[in-house]
Amino acid sequence: MKGNSVTGPIMLFIPSDDKEYDNVYFVSSHGKGYKQEFAYAQRLHEVNGHAVPYEPYPEM
């Protein structure tokens, strides 16, 4: 993470228990989970509770 951005590959996901509907969650290739809130232009937040394992995009 550099400033308010994440460097390197990420995987986006929405947790099955998400009830806020205006957030995007993602996990970096380093295994750290993040939450980006869009409703109020909040800064990027690191999270621990919703992180899923990073999986690279499948090659075709």
pLDDT of residue 3: 61
| pLDDT band at residue 51 using 50, 70 and 90 as cut-offs | low
Per-residue pLDDT, 4: 65
Q: Say if pTM beats, i.e. exceeds, 0.75.
A: no
The rounded distance, in Å, linking the Cα atoms of 11 and 21 is 18
Residue 22, pLDDT score: 84
- The backbone torsions φ and ψ at residue 33, rounded to the nearest 5 degrees and listed phi first, read -95, 145
